[in-house]
Amino acid sequence: MKMVLRGNMATAYAAKLARVEVIPAYPITPSTLFPEKISEFVANGEMNCQFVKCESEHSAISACVGASATGARVATATSSQGLALMHEILFIAAGMRLPIVMAVGNRALSAPINIWCDHQDTIAERDSGWLQFYAEKNQEALDLMLMAFRISENQNVLLPSMVGMDAFVLTHTMEVVEVPDQKDVDEFLPPYKPLYTLDVNNPMTFGAFSSPDNYMEFRYATQKAMENAPAVIDEVFAAFEKKFGRKYSRVVPYMVEDADIVFVAIGSMCGTVREAVKEMRAEGKKVGLLKITTLRPFPKDLIKKYLANAKVVAVFERNISLGFGGAVYPEISAVFVNAGQRPKIYDFIIGLGGRDILVSDIKQTYDIAMKAYADGKDDVIEWIGIKKEML
Amino acid sequence: MKVNTGATVTEPGSSVKNKTGGWRNMRPVTDLARCKRCGICVILCPDAVISMKNKEEGPRTDYDYCKGCGICANECPFKAISMVAEEK
């Protein structure tokens, strides 16, 4: 059924359709509409779910861990400072191999305080052992959330997932979304079958103490689960396409085959970059876009496949790893550092704290990148649209 | 042991199997001739590894789990316990 939904509503519908059994949450802008909608579903009897009102995000994710360990399907939502407050427990959820799914309204981190779109919150958690998916539009937020349960719950993976959607640009913006039928979702997403469950009649310990003798082996096993994930993601994306007709891929190429310069982008800005690519193609410029949908596990294989023949790769980053540059740029660079044929890779910090990203910004980036390439520059980390007069 | 998913312990008793005495640098050695069997070391050991079945036998330290904290030696009113460096 077609509905007009905000991004937060789309993920709430995904949680309802996935028959999530426990949702502990603490409200934070721009994710508050998610727990609001869930509480409405539960109060109306539309959803058979334990909705837990927590006193903080740390408590919310801790309740998620406990609930997931009992074998329930669990989801939550948060953003920015809330995700940062969850930091400690994110690693515990991954180490205990609990397939919790979380919708994140991607928002800037303080200080200065800012509630608008920025990827810093999830980027800062990229080492936590959670799979990371990023939506470009509300339909993708719903679909990725649904698929995240099936991917996370796969016994070769058993890791939690976060689905990022850009603050306000997606979380609060209404779009037409195809909401699948419950019957189809039930066929696509069978009930979660946990390996181990907390049970008073059969007591066991989760995330037990581990000494220097065996800690490394547990970390290795978790990394192996991450390495298993790409095949599972591809399989689930294919099954989803078969069932619902919408195609997903860990990265999505657009006009990259013959492109001299390929822009790499994440989230809602991909729409703007695609428009800019269309306009520049009409001007005879060979440009393309590679959208990253799955940042963790990092799609090394596909990055190599789609970017190896480009002259220049320009990475757009709505984040800054202070003291280095954008966080995705070094990862893409690492894919090519030992390769024979490799593009020049340049980094562009853009749209932090909700600053609009315009087609003209993308065109300006093209000019900067091509000039850097012509000048043979190695290390380019540019801030697009920075107001020098304010500094 | 084998690594299992989620560092899960499915059977009770793993803390008995997991011997932690290897953490010890200093070993408490009890001189049973000086010991008056007061039992203070048994009560104060934070790991509950000192036991005394009867007065004839006196206190016994289970070195599989003793971490060598030295509380027993410090608290013994008769200076019957000395801390000796472990040789590895």
Domains of chain B: 14-85 (3.30.70.20)
Q: Would you say domain A2-244 falls under CATH 3.40.50.970?
A: yes
Q: State pLDDT tens for residues A258-296.
A: 999 999 999 999 999 999 999 999 999 999 999 999 999
Within 8 A of A209 by CB-CB distance, chain B residues are 18
- Out of A95, A203, A209, name the one closest to residue B12 (CB): A203
Q: How far is B84 from chain A (nearest CA, A)?
A: 25
DSSP state for residue A121 in the 8-state scheme: H
| Tens-binned pLDDT, residue by residue, of chain A (391 aa) | 999 999 999 999 999 999 999 999 999 999 999 999 999 999 999 999 999 999 999 999 999 999 999 999 999 999 999 999 999 999 999 999 999 999 999 999 999 999 999 999 999 999 999 999 999 999 999 999 999 999 999 999 999 999 999 999 999 999 999 999 999 999 999 999 999 999 999 999 999 888 888 999 999 999 999 999 999 999 999 999 999 999 999 999 999 999 999 999 999 999 999 999 999 999 999 999 999 999 999 999 999 999 999 999 999 999 999 999 999 999 999 999 999 889 999 999 999 999 999 999 999 999 999 999 999 999 999 999 999 999 9
Map out the domains of chain A as residue ranges: 2-244, 251-390
Q: What are phi and psi of A274, to 5 degrees?
A: -65, -40
Note whether B7 contacts A196, CB cutoff 8 Å.
no
Partner B, chain A 132-171, Cβ-Cβ below 8 Å:
158
Query: Closest Cα to residue A343, out of A373, A318, A375?
Result: A373
- Out of A205, A211, A220, name the one closest to residue B8 (CB): A205
Quick one: tokens of A359? 């087609």
Q: State pLDDT tens for residues A291-342.
A: 999 999 999 999 999 999 999 999 999 999 999 999 999 999 999 999 988 9
This complex has an ipTM of 0.77
List the Cα angle A248/A250/A251 in 5-degree steps.
Answer: 95
The length of chain B is 88
Note whether B5 contacts A214, CB cutoff 8 Å.
no
Q: Identify the H or E element spanning B28.
A: strand B26-30
Q: How far is B6 from chain A (nearest CA, A)?
A: 4
Q: Please give the CATH architecture assigned to the domain spanning A251-390.
A: 3-Layer(aba) Sandwich (3.40)
Instruction: Say if residues A166 and A268 touch (Cβ distance below 8 Å).
Output: yes
Q: Using N-to-C axis directions, what is the helix angle for A215-244 and A138-152, rounded to 10°?
A: 130
- Work out whether the CA dihedral A127, A131, A135, A136 comes out positive or negative: positive
| Residue A195 at interface with chain B, using a CB cutoff of 8 Å | yes
> B6 to chain A: nearest residue by CA?
A96
Q: Identify the H or E element spanning B79.
A: none
- Out of A195, A206, A217, name the one closest to residue B3 (CB): A217
- Out of B1, B8, B14, name the one closest to residue A196 (CB): B8
User: Measured between alpha carbons, how far is A361 from A364 in angstroms, rounded to an integer?
Assistant: 5
Instruction: Say if residues A52 and A63 touch (Cβ distance below 8 Å).
Output: yes
Q: How far is B37 from chain A (nearest CA, A)?
A: 35
- Work out whether the CA dihedral A122, A127, A346, A292 comes out positive or negative: negative
Within 8 A of A218 by CB-CB distance, chain B residues are 3, 7
Q: How far is A207 from chain B (nearest CA, A)?
A: 5
Instruction: Classify the phi-psi angles of A140: left when phi > 0, otherwise alpha if psi is within -120 to 50, otherwise beta.
Output: alpha
Round the CA-based radius of gyration of chain B to a whole number and report it. Answer: 16
Q: Given the DSSP bridges, would you call strands B50-51 and B60-61 parallel, antiparallel or unpaired?
A: antiparallel
